[in-house]
Structure formats: C-alpha cells, structure tokens
Structure 1
Amino acid sequence: MGCLQSKTANVQSPDQEPPQPDSNPDLANGDQLDQDQVPAFKEFGLAELRAATNGFSSELIVSESGEKAPNVVYRGKLRNNGLVAIKRFSKLSWPDPQQFVAEADGVGKVRHKRLVNLIGCCA
C-alpha cells in the first residue's frame, strides 16, 4: 500500500484551526515543516492505514483500476489530520513485499512542488 500527500492536503476549512507545528507526530527531533515541505518517507502500520480509511470503507473509495490485479485508492485522514490518498495494491501487483518497499522508498525520496509526494508505504 502507498500513502500519498499533495500540497493541497493541508488546506483547512474556515471553521478549523490550523495544526500546530509541534503537535505533528510525524516530525522527529523538533523539526518543523514549511508549507511546501512534506513529512519524510516512512513505513506505516496496517492499523494506522486502516484507521485512516475507516477500515478501508467502500464509501471512501476514490478509484479502482486493473482487471487482473485490482488496485483501489481510498481517501484518508492520518492521526495528524493530514489528508492523504492511500492506494491498496493487490498481491498480484507486488508479489514480493521487499521489492515493493525498496521501490516505494526510492520514489518516496522524490520531492517537487508540482508532484504528489509519496510519504510512506506498508507491506
């Protein structure tokens, strides 16, 4: 599974208070994120992704693709209230979990203001 965050993921509705920089559990050692930065790539636990998607609820499905190996994208919200897209791959798409993590880690290092950022994975 992958977890993506876009620059607009931090957009707040007018009635919400902006998150406090020091209350972000994804930040370590007091590091702070600028508006254009995203958290470092990390491995998420399945329980955390399950909580973010309300148990991979069908109501939160954004898209489904693939006939032989269906992959589903869910809308989700992390503990820090960060809005994310979580793509759940079938085992046919990535039969080797170690290879998936290695590939995801490489893609997760890519950062650009015009790209959606891969902020983590779970295998």
Structure 2
Amino acid sequence: LNTKTFGGITGMWQGTERCDTCGDCILDMTGGICPYTACPKKLLNGPCAGQSNGKCETDPQRDCGWELIYKNLKRTGQIDRLYSFIAPRDYKKILPPAELRRSSLWALDEKEVV
C-alpha cells in the first residue's frame, strides 16, 4: 500500500499522527509509524543517537520518532525490520510544480492557522 501524493499540498490539521502524503510510504517497515513525520530531523534510516530519555535533542517536547518505531517493532515481534535499508525519498513526487508554488493556493496552504 502507498499514499497518494498531493504534490506538496497537505493543509493544516490538529493531532499528533501525521501523514506527509509523500507517495513513498514505508509504514510496513517501521511498525506503522512514519519516520519522516515522527522524527523532527526526518531521518529515514534509524536514530541519530541524539535523544535523551526518549525525547528528541532538537525538540525536547517531542518523543524520539525512532524510539517509538523501535518499541512498536519490538512489541509486535518485527524488530528484524530495522535491518532493512530505506531508500532515499523521491522529492520530485513530493514538491508541487513551480507554477503552483507561486500561486495563491500554495500561499493559503502554507499559512499557519491560529
């Protein structure tokens, strides 16, 4: 299974579960947790060793995404999936075309909702 990319248009929503709708879904390899959205550094191939007490060094309010992935894979008996290499993302699929990035639609999507 894979997500359908929206070409960089993601919108704003509340909650902690995030999907970047990148079209490069690897949830089957990471225990159902997306490392790109769970890891503040957006690392795809394991932790950086910069976490402290399960929190990210760049954002101490957030859990280390890779620690969450590890715990979930261990809990489900799938820890061997951590030994798989995840190929780099295809950013051509993720970014919207240049003409869209210059449009008002892109500006509306990128604006923070208060």
TM range (shorter): under 0.3
Which structure shows the bigger proportion of residues in strand conformation? Answer: 1
Q: Which has the larger radius of gyration?
A: 2
Which structure shows the bigger proportion of residues in helix conformation? Answer: 2
TM-score, scaled to structure 1: 0.24
Q: Which has the higher contact order (CA 8 A, sep 6+)?
A: 1
